Amino acid sequence: MTRMSITNTPTAATIDDAPLIGSTLARAFDDDPMMRWFFTDDASRATNLGRYFTTLFTRQYVRHCVCERTGAAAAFWVPPEARAKAVPDAETIAELVELLGDRAPLFRDTVEAAAEHAPQEPHWYLAVIGADPAAQGQGHGAALLRSGLAKADAEGLPAYLESSKPDNLPFYEHFGFTVRAELHLPEGGPVLWAMRRDPCRPAGA
């Protein structure tokens, strides 16, 4: 029996993709140090991560930002013109507080600490990217990263992200990102690496 191939071609994500994106990102971030810091209970982590990413996607990113997916990965990009609109509204914050429980203050402090290091110049911000571990090595994450970076390059703008997983740093460096800061999160939380990439100019430009 042949294995069914899963396309790694990026397509625009829609609200109808929310269940797929939520479950995909829950699997992608199951071993992420920051997500394990926010969601400490092993038994409920998968469910809560799915709810977390579904909430962010449906209430925030799909409304205002550039959201793309493949058959086994998803990425949320915030272009400069959407920066103000991408801030969670009161109802979204209430949903996240209910979901995070007593970890909600840590989440708030982390968001505020990360925001202090974000570039002030116009840039494309990679808010979320993740691929199902079952599809590792099939190019899903790379395809989504290239797609977003091409949009930033077309506008002549830098790209920015944060990562709390040290194993991912070489992957981002391969695409031109460099570490600009190491953020030690509050109350003994994991390290968050802030990374920036300058735009690539077309050959001959």
197: closest CA among 158, 167, 161, 164? 158
In CATH, what number is assigned to the domain containing residue 101? 3.40.630.30
Q: Is residue 163 part of a domain?
A: yes
The domain tally of the chain equals 1
Query: What tens digit of pLDDT does each residue of 70-109 get?
Result: 999 999 999 999 988 878 888 888 999 999 999 999 999 8
- Residue 2 clears pLDDT 50, i.e. is over it: no
Distance CA 55, CA 173 (A): 30
For residue 116, give the H/E element and its range: none
Domain that holds residue 153: 14-197
Q: Is residue 27 part of a domain?
A: yes
Q: Is residue 100 part of a domain?
A: yes
- Residue 5 clears pLDDT 60, i.e. is over it: no
Which pair of tokens denotes residue 61? 């990113």
| Contact between 47 and 181 (Cβ < 8 Å) | no
Q: Is residue 5 part of a domain?
A: no
Q: Is residue 1 part of a domain?
A: no
